[in-house]
Amino acid sequence: MPELPEVETLKRSLKNHIMGNKITSFMQFRKSLRYELDPNLAAKTINSFITNVYRIAKYLALELNNNNSIIFHLGMTGRLTLRKGDYSFQKHDHVAFFLDDGNLLVFNDARRFGMVYVAATDELNSEKYFKNIGLEPLSAEFNAEYLASYFKNRKAPIKSVIMDNKILVGVGNIYASESLFLSRINPLKPAQNLTKSEILELTQSIILVLNQAIQEGGTTLRDFVNGDNKPGYFKQKLNVYDRKNLDCYSCTTKIVRIVQSGRATYFCPTCQKI
Mean pLDDT of 24-41: 94
The reported pLDDT for the residue numbered 55 is 94
Element of type H or E holding 69:
strand 68-73
By percentage, how much of the chain surpasses pLDDT 70?
92
Report d(CA 264, CA 78) in Å as an integer: 21
Mean pLDDT of 26-38: 94
Query: Choosing from 83, 154, 263, 269, which is the catalytic residue?
Result: 263
58 is catalytic: yes
DSSP β-ladder status, 23-28 and 93-99 = antiparallel
> Binning pLDDT at 50, 70 and 90, where does residue 23 land?
very high
222 is catalytic: no
Checking if the pLDDT of 225 tops 60, the result is no
> Pseudo-torsion of CA 178, 263, 170, 132, nearest 10°?
-140
Q: Are 154 and 194 in contact (CB under 8 A)?
A: no
Look at 189 and 238; give whichever has higher pLDDT: 189
pTM passes above 0.85: yes
Report d(CA 92, CA 29) in Å as an integer: 9
Query: Choosing from 3, 6, 8, 201, which is the catalytic residue?
Result: 3
> Binning pLDDT at 50, 70 and 90, where does residue 224 land?
very low
Q: How many residues does the chain have?
A: 274
Report d(CA 37, CA 117) in Å as an integer: 7
2 is catalytic: yes
In the chain, DSSP finds a helix count (H) and a strand count (E) of: 6, 10
The reported pLDDT for the residue numbered 4 is 87
What radius of gyration do the chain's Cα atoms show? Answer: 20
The reported pLDDT for the residue numbered 76 is 86
Domains of the chain: 4-126 (3.20.190.10), 144-267 (1.10.8.50)
Tell me which amino acid residue 97 is: F
The C-alpha angle with vertex 154 and arms to 153 and 156, in degrees rounded to 5, equals 150
Checking if the pLDDT of 155 tops 60, the result is yes
Query: Choosing from 11, 44, 55, 58, which is the catalytic residue?
Result: 58
